[in-house]
Every structure is written in C-alpha cells, then in structure tokens.
Amino acid sequence: MASESIDLATTLEKTALLSSLSRAEIQSLAARTVRKHFTSGELLFSEDEPCHGLHIIARGTVRIFKTSVNGREQVLALNHAGESVAELPVFDGGRYPASAMAIEDVELAFISRPDFHAFCLEHPEVALKMLAVVGARLRRLVGIIEELSFTTIRQRLISVLLRLADTEGRQTQRGIEFQLPASHQELASQLGTVRELISRNLARLQAEGLIDVDARQIVVKDRCGLHALLTSMS
C-alpha cells in the first residue's frame, strides 16, 4: 500500500474521538501524526509491550485479543475504520493489556504519547471523549466476562447466529442466508472455545433441522426454533 493512499487530516476528522475539533485543530494534530501500514496477519503490538502512542484506524479491521499460556486466544474486540485502538495505556503509561493484529490490510494514523498528552492538555474535551471510549470498552469487557461465565458455548453460538441472521441475512426460499464473517477458528476465538466445538455445535444444530451449513455459508431454516432453543437454555 502506498503511504499517500490516506490523508491524515481526513482520517482524524472522521474519528468520533476528535469530532469536536475545528479544521484548524485537526490540521495541527495531523502535523504530529504519522502513517503506519500493516498487512493481514501482522501484529500492531503484543501484550505487555510498552505503549508508545495512539493508533487510529483509517482503513481495515484490527483484532484485539489475549492469549493463554496454552496458546488459546480470546478475542476482546474487532476495531474498524474510525476507531482508536488500546487507549488506556496511552494515559496510564502502562503496557498494552492485550495484543492487536491486522485481520486484513490496515492503514493507521499514529500519534505518539507525548504529542497526544500535550494535545489533550490544550483540548480537555478530547480527554473527556477518550474517557467515554474507555468506559464503553470496559462495559464490553464486563459483558464478555458475563457471557463466558454464565452461558454455554451452544448458547453463545446460537446468539451469534441469530444476530447475524438479523443484521446480515437475506430471506430466500431455503431460509435466512448469510456468511459467517470469519472462519470457525476465528469464531471460536471470539466465543472463548476451540474450533472443534464450533464445528460440532454447528453440525448438531444442522442435525436438529434448525440450520444448514456449508463451510462459512449458513442458512437459518427455523429462526423461531433457534430463538426458542436459546430461551429454554437461559
């Protein structure tokens, strides 16, 4: 990817975190911002690395995850264009609490910690917005903890299938069709399990006549039945 392919000021301007700034203020911050490029599968940073600054996604998707001692991954978030990544250590000076990886080619705007600190002192409203972003991340992490603690893999999988049917599905004669946005391995990482259990539970739902599965292609044949099954397990 050519470095000229993104405009730093435009990237910053489209970021919710910086939406209160004037064009002149955006230009001032852009002068202290650099471009970074990562290919699919490349790490932006690893857990426990020192934090050097704020990453803002201009294009692509970044996966935030933690890895256990036995190598299993738990996906904490998927961040997209217009979002910032791993904001907390930018302020507290700590190390990254998780790792970040590009899951497709990614372009970023990067602002060093000293430059961003100085900018927040000049523009306190940006620091307040950052606090709101960090708070939203914390709420999402609490939700992940609750889900992993109080629901089964089968429940979590059915919830994902119902959500995707509602947001990504199209009605056909066979049912509601959609494609899983990730492989079974990636889905397993998001749901806190292993690929074999995802495949096994998809096969079980298919045997029960609720869905059809062809690799990543899913057809929900009985949405009401799926919802009733989920409700009965709650």
Rg, C-alpha atoms of the chain: 20
Q: Which two three-digit tokens encode residue 138?
A: 């914390």
CATH architecture of the region 3-149: Sandwich (2.60)
Calpha distance 47→61 (Å, rounded): 18
Length of the chain, in residues: 234
pTM: 0.66
**Model pLDDT for residues 192-201, shown as the tens digit of each residue:** 888 888 999 9
Average of per-residue pLDDT across 159-163: 92
Calpha distance 178→143 (Å, rounded): 25
Calpha distance 144→121 (Å, rounded): 33
| CATH 2.60.120.10-classified regions of the chain | 3-149
| CATH 1.10.10.10-classified regions of the chain | 151-233
180: which DSSP letter? -
Please provide residue 135's backbone torsions phi and psi, each rounded to the nearest 5 degrees.
Answer: -60, -40
**Strand 106-112 vs strand 170-171: parallel, antiparallel, or unpaired?**
unpaired
**Model pLDDT for residues 16-51, shown as the tens digit of each residue:** 888 878 888 899 899 999 999 999 999 999 999 999
Q: What CATH number matches the domain at 151-233, 1.10.10.10, 3.30.1050.10, 3.50.50.60, 1.10.3720.10?
A: 1.10.10.10
Calpha distance 16→13 (Å, rounded): 8
Q: Which residues contact 26 (CB under 8 A, 6 or more apart)?
A: 9, 12, 13, 18
**Model pLDDT for residues 50-79, shown as the tens digit of each residue:** 999 999 999 999 999 998 877 788 888 889
Calpha distance 84→57 (Å, rounded): 6
- Direct distance between the N- and C-terminal alpha carbons of the chain, in angstroms, rounded to an integer: 47
